[in-house]
Amino acid sequence: MGQIIAVANQKGGVGKTTTALNLGASLAAAEQRVLLVDMDPQGNLSSGLGYPKARIEQHLYHVLSGERALDEVIVDTELEYLRLAPTHTDLIGAEIELVGDEARHGRLAAAIEQVAPRFNYVLIDCPPSLGLLTLNALVAADSVIVPLQCEYFALEGLSHLLATIERVRAIYKPALALEGVLLCMYDRRMNLTQQVANEVREHFVGQVFDTVIPRNVRLAESSSFGKPVLLYDVESAGARAYLQLAQELMRRRDAQVAPQPPRPAPSRAVTQRRALSASGGTE
Ligand SMILES: Nc1ncnc2c1ncn2[C@@H]1O[C@H](COP(=O)(O)OP(=O)(O)O)[C@@H](O)[C@H]1O
Ligand SMILES: [Mg+2]
């Protein structure tokens, strides 16, 4: 049975889609069978793999509305081991239509259950909100990767995500775990980056990936060309970082290191104070 991982953070622009796409491609390069599920109606993951809206006929809206099985919407990518369940802006409609449905939280889980045995990993890219689409992803998932941008207030709002994970654990899925916090857009030269990284590692002891993802323009360029970075510039720092992340994830799985339940995020005041003192500012 494949491991199902949601990539979630309700903040936009922190690296969720870049992580889902490039971690997925890196696992596929290691001959792991990977399914990427694009749960963000903006469709950046789909277009980042060469499937802009105009090219998509069947998509996740049809799956969540019950018109199609997940299997019927899955498409191939340039990488043999990497497949995609694409999305469309219509998916926003699913969020509204499902409101009156008792089983609304479990739609994606039920769909993925049908195909999961054929994959080693199923990665779900979440939208920047904690609405019904993210909830569906969390209910479907075994664990969650939380990308964080190493900037001011990186941890702000994280408590909402962690509380949502707790709620899903309490009501739907007691085994849902935090796979790891991933430090993205890491810039070694910046004091603030180091400070935020230290604070995150202090708080989430043992729950932060050793691999950090550097700020690297190749990552942004490659998705605009509809490719994972390893098919665009395999020597780039971005490509190497995601390949390393894939190795770290696989090692953990081999060693059967069980992901742990999340703990509450530090308060905003602490984050803010530390961020300001790191940048030399005053409160
Ligand atoms: N490590 C990185 N270095 C440089 N640019 C990045 C990096 N990660 C993401 N980006 C760029 O930042 C923007 C936001 O990233 P994205 O993965 O789409 O975030 P999210 O899915 O959380 O909204 C995109 O334009 C993406 O190409
Ligand atoms: Mg995104």
- What's 125's domain CATH number? 3.40.50.300
The percentage of residues in the chain with a pLDDT greater than 90, rounded to a whole number, is 70
Q: Which amino acid is at 277?
A: S
Residue 269 confidence (pLDDT): 47
| Residue 27, domain extent | 3-278
Of all residues in the chain, what percent carry a pLDDT higher than 70? 92
The answer to whether the CB of 16 is under 6 A from ligand 1 is yes
Residue 283 lies in a domain: no
Side-chain half-sphere exposure of 225, counting CA atoms within 13 A: 14
Task: List the residue whose alpha carbon is closest to atom 5 of ligand 1.
Answer: 220
What's the confidence (pLDDT) of residue 113?
96
Is the predicted pLDDT of residue 150 greater than 90, yes or no? no
Domain membership of residue 15 (yes or no) is yes
44 pLDDT higher than 80: yes
The secondary element (H helix, E strand) that includes residue 82 is: strand 82-85
Q: Minimum-distance ligand to the CA of 147?
A: 1
Residue 183 lies in a domain: yes
Q: Is 14 in the pocket of ligand 1 (CB under 6 A)?
A: yes
Question: Do the domain assignments include residue 49?
Answer: yes
Q: How many domains does the chain have?
A: 1
| Atom from ligand 1 closest to the CA of residue 223 | 27
Instruction: Look at residue 236 and tell me if it is in a domain.
Output: yes
Any atom of ligand 1 within 6 Å of the Cβ of 13:
yes
pLDDT tens track for 160-199: 899 999 999 999 999 999 999 999 999 988 888 999 899 8
The closest of 271, 259, 260, 258 to 159, measured between CA atoms, is: 271
- Rg of the chain in Å (alpha carbons): 18
Please tell me the predicted confidence (pLDDT) of residue 277: 55
Q: pLDDT by residue (tens digit) across 90-124? A: 888 888 888 777 778 999 999 999 999 999 999 99
